[in-house]
Amino acid sequence: MKILHVVGARPNFIKVAPVIAALREREGVVQILVHTGQHYDINMTDIFFDQLGIPEPNVNLEVGSESQAAQTANIMVRLERILLDDRPDLVLVYGDVNSTLAAALVCAKQLIPVGHIEAGLRSFDRTMPEEINRLLTDQIADFLFTPSPEADENLMREGVPQGKIHLVGNVMIDTLVRLLPHAQERWPSLQFSMKLNGQFGLVTLHRPSNVDSSSRLSSIISALNTISNDMPLYFPIHPRTRQRLASLLLNIDKTKLNIIDPIGYMDFLAMQNHAMLVITDSGGIQEETTFLRVPCLTMRENTERPITVKLGTNILVGQDMEKLKREVYRILNGEVKQGSVPPLWDGKTSERIAEIVIGWNNRRK
């Protein structure tokens, strides 16, 4: 059986790693890893691939950063050639980036079965490009591997046949479970080098709605400045956001609000695990903090991962900076939301995916 994985950004690699590992244990499975090159990430070094236990991609389409339409079209054109040459039995796509939808569309035209890992997530906000990618990919895919029950409900409400839907759990947690002990080993040296003494908060923001507007970014930094008076904050920041921040000429106490360069997955995981709280707009971090039982304040009006709010430690604060500060002080005062880990977020999701895929392949012979 020949399986081709399509990934386009660093979070996709974190998701694909355990699936590749699980399928590697199955006899007769050939795997091809295609990186579309949708996102350039300075932290995707050889060490990154070594830590995840995956090889360098077999193919890099090198599409780069362009408009939504141009990027999607370029991925489709370049991937079509790969699929015509390799003719895989199954293509697995991950998450909700442009690469996910582009690959699904090409496969549908070539009648190649597609499996969508992390299917059924919905923010119900169609202004988000990711929401469009999720909706359309799930209508095309033959296998919909979902992380939580409400994802199944979303798909059935949209008319997806129940036989295509497989509740398997969260593949990101598979990687977290495997690498957390190694991240813990790095903690003492990281703690020393970054002077992480006592309680601290971790900040990660990347969505255009938060970082591309000067007035919005100024408001966020003002709130973070206030919060950092009571607890030091560490903010790994993208170079483009750092440049934008510098142009605003804001007064930042750099001993309390620590603007640092982006860090690798292992170091970030170690910091998450030891943080007093995390402030983010990332979907994946909402999931990781839920598993780690670390309070998470999400600077978005909605989330496609409502189970992290319902069962986990996640609280939506939107663009309300006063609410953000109130929730931070509630956490500092010990009023912590006691979350639980959702069912099937147990580090074995990739094994369940592999069983379903191999079972399907055996039945069709």
Tell me the catalytic residues. Answer: 206
Phi and psi at 92, nearest 5°, equal: -105, 130
DSSP one-letter code for 163: G
CA angle 199, 203, 206 (to 5 degrees): 175
Length of the chain: 365
CA angle 106, 111, 114 (to 5 degrees): 70
CB distance 110 to 8 below 8 Å: no
**Six token digits for residue 317:** 């604060």
CB distance 313 to 290 below 8 Å: yes
Q: How many helices (H) does the chain have, and how many strands (E)?
A: 15, 13
C-alpha span between 67 and 73 (Å, rounded): 10
- Helices 171-193 & 265-274 angle (0-180, nearest 10): 80
C-alpha span between 20 and 25 (Å, rounded): 9
Rg of the chain taking only CA atoms, in angstroms = 20
**Residue 256, Ramachandran bin (φ over 0: left; ψ between -120 and 50: alpha; else beta):** alpha
Return the C-alpha torsion angle 278, 272, 285, 242, nearest 10: 70
CB distance 312 to 339 below 8 Å: yes
Q: In what order do the strands lie in the sheet with 296-298?
A: 257-260, 233-236, 201-204, 277-280, 296-298, 314-316
